[in-house]
């Protein structure tokens, strides 16, 4: 069967399509990333920058597979798993994803709370509650495209803040360049490396992308779906590249300020305070503003993902107006907020939450891999050999890193 020809590329059409990939990108520029990137830069300098590069390359393929699954089947990853896998496996996978969603909420509510604390002097728990209320209000009360605009705006503010930070701290680019591509990990750094990876390749974001891609309704014919995929690839690559820039900048700023000045960091609040004498008042203000937008923006995307996971795995309609959907928007935030209420080590909990995401990740990648390769599920959009091998290698890398971490932890090296 001959492939349908693509229409001529239209920049105007691309602009109208941009959005789903950027929603996902806000998810991996969340407070969990802040904690892991600050820790990685402060403890190991530029050595873990390669993890951001690796994670971004993984994301480009994984998020493309998730979006393609949504386009080819007209259903989200959660719905496809429920319909295609045995009930015990579905329950197990759904349970692990919900645990990952709770871990995500912990980091995002904490991050928003810390941001409000730094800007307005609010108690941490009050700031976290305000972040929770804001995300529920924004998700439930706004139409999808309005939410999309708000979140892309948040991402733009965060990006500008960190680009400004780069100019302020003046890092050593000659040392940074090789660190971006040369792997460097050991028993001391594997925990943080895994946390950075989990914060980048977040399981709930994979589910989210397979669902929000349906907002671009271009028809159901093969030709229309191929055209949709064409613009989806561009959206994904552009958005993931922006995420790579922001996450790399986080590590670079942390390394330049803390590691190379011998300043230890044990909390995000401490990181902000320490910036004042080293990089000036402006740097600290930008840090706090970006953290607030990061916490609120990423909370919104995680809420949408959680609602997708809940409705998809339980076979409920994905109707934002339904009571079940509205409850799903914040159901995982309740245990997350309770964890915040009883916690005393917010920084360490944020980092640990990202390790949980990395441990869950194989349980999201493997069903995605199986579904994407199935001709029965995907039809003509089934993953080709090269794409399938690349995705398999990615899954093996994640699994091997998890095994290395668990071995390190069990033998007392972590």
- Could you say which DSSP state residue 1 is in? -
The crossing angle, in degrees rounded to 10, of helices 77-84 and 49-73 is 70
Helix (H, G, I), strand (E, B) or coil at 189: coil
C-alpha dist (Å) from residue 295 to 86, 292, 310, 325:
36, 5, 22, 22
**2 within a domain of the structure (yes/no):** no
Residues 6+ apart with CB under 8 A from 340: 106, 109, 110, 113, 124, 125, 128, 346
Please state, in angstroms and rounded to a whole number, the distance separating the CA atoms of residues 68 and 226: 9
For every residue of 305-320, DSSP letters joined together read HHHHHHHHHHT----T
* Average pLDDT over the chain, rounded to an integer: 86
Q: What is the mean pLDDT of residues 86-99?
A: 95
**5 within a domain of the structure (yes/no):** no
**6 within a domain of the structure (yes/no):** no
CATH code for the domain of 289: 1.20.1740.10
Please state, in angstroms and rounded to a whole number, the distance separating the CA atoms of residues 75 and 214: 8
**3 within a domain of the structure (yes/no):** no
**298 within a domain of the structure (yes/no):** yes
**60 within a domain of the structure (yes/no):** yes
With a cut of 60, say whether residue 71 has pLDDT above it.
Answer: yes
Percent of the chain predicted with pLDDT > 70:
91
Residue-wise burial string across 74-97, b where 16 or more C-beta atoms lie within 10 A, e elsewhere: ebbbbbbbbebbeeeebeebbebb
Please state, in angstroms and rounded to a whole number, the distance separating the CA atoms of residues 324 and 308: 11
Percent of the chain predicted with pLDDT > 90:
49
**320 within a domain of the structure (yes/no):** yes
Q: Nearest-5° angle of CA 327, CA 332, CA 337?
A: 115
Closest CA to 298 of 250, 333, 334, 345: 333
With a cut of 90, say whether residue 178 has pLDDT above it.
Answer: yes
With a cut of 50, say whether residue 3 has pLDDT above it.
Answer: no
Q: What is the mean pLDDT of residues 59-83?
A: 93
Output the pTM of the full model. Answer: 0.86
**55 within a domain of the structure (yes/no):** yes
Q: Which domain covers residue 148, as residue numbers?
A: 11-410
pLDDT for 374: 96
Q: Tell me the per-residue pLDDT of 202-246, one tens digit each, with 9 for 90 and over.
A: 898 899 888 877 666 656 678 888 888 888 888 888 889 989 998
Q: Tell me the per-residue pLDDT of 245-272, one tens digit each, with 9 for 90 and over.
A: 989 999 999 999 899 999 999 888 888 8
The crossing angle, in degrees rounded to 10, of helices 333-342 and 124-141 is 170
pLDDT for 2: 41
* Contact (Cβ atoms closer than 8 angstroms) between residue 385 and residue 359: no
How many domains, the chain? Answer: 1
Q: What is the mean pLDDT of residues 162-184?
A: 90
Please state, in angstroms and rounded to a whole number, the distance separating the CA atoms of residues 33 and 200: 7
Sign of CA dihedral 140, 340, 347, 308: negative
pLDDT for 15: 62
18 φ/ψ angles, rounded to the nearest 5 degrees:
-50, 135
């Amino acid at each position: 069967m001959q492939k349908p020809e693509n229409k001529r590329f239209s920049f105007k059409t691309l602009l109208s399509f941009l959005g789903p990939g950027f929603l996902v990108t806000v998810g991996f520029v969340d407070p969990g990333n802040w904690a892991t990137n600050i820790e990685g830069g402060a403890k190991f300098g530029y050595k873990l920058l390669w993890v951001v590069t690796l994670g971004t390359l993984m994301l480009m393929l994984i998020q493309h597979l998730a979006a393609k699954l949504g386009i080819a089947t007209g259903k989200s990853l959660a719905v496809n798993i429920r319909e295609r896998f045995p009930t015990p496996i579905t329950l197990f996978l759904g349970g692990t994803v919900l645990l990952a969603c709770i871990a995500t909420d912990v980091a995002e509510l904490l991050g928003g709370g810390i941001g409000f604390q730094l800007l307005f002097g609010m108690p941490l728990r009050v700031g976290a509650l305000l972040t929770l209320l804001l995300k529920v209000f924004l998700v439930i009360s706004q139409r999808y495209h309005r939410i999309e605009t708000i979140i892309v705006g948040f991402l733009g503010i965060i990006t500008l803040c960190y680009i400004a930070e780069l100019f302020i701290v003046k890092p050593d680019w000659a040392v940074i360049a090789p660190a971006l591509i040369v792997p460097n990990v050991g028993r001391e750094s594997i925990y943080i490396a895994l946390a950075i990876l989990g914060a980048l390749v977040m399981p709930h974001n994979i589910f989210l992308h397979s669902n929000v891609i349906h907002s671009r309704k271009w028809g159901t014919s093969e030709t229309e779906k191929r055209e949709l995929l064409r613009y989806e690839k561009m959206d994904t690559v552009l958005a993931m590249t922006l995420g790579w820039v922001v996450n790399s900048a986080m590590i670079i700023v942390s390394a330049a300020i803390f590691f190379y000045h011998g300043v230890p960091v044990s909390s995000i609040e401490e990181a902000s305070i320490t910036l004042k004498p080293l990089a000036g008042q402006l740097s600290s203000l930008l840090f706090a503003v970006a953290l607030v937008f990061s916490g609120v923006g990423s909370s919104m995307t995680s809420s949408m993902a959680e609602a997708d996971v809940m409705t998809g795995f339980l076979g409920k309609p994905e109707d934002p107006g339904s009571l079940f959907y509205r409850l799903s928007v914040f159901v995982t935030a309740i245990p997350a907020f309770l964890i915040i209420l009883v916690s005393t080590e917010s920084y360490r909990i944020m980092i640990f939450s990202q390790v949980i995401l990395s441990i869950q990740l194989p349980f999201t990648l493997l069903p995605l891999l199986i579904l994407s390769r199935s001709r029965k599920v995907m039809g003509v959009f089934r993953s080709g050999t090269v794409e399938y091998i690349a995705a398999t290698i990615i899954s093996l890398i994640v699994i091997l890193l998890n095994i290395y971490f668990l071995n390190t932890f069990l033998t007392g090296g972590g």
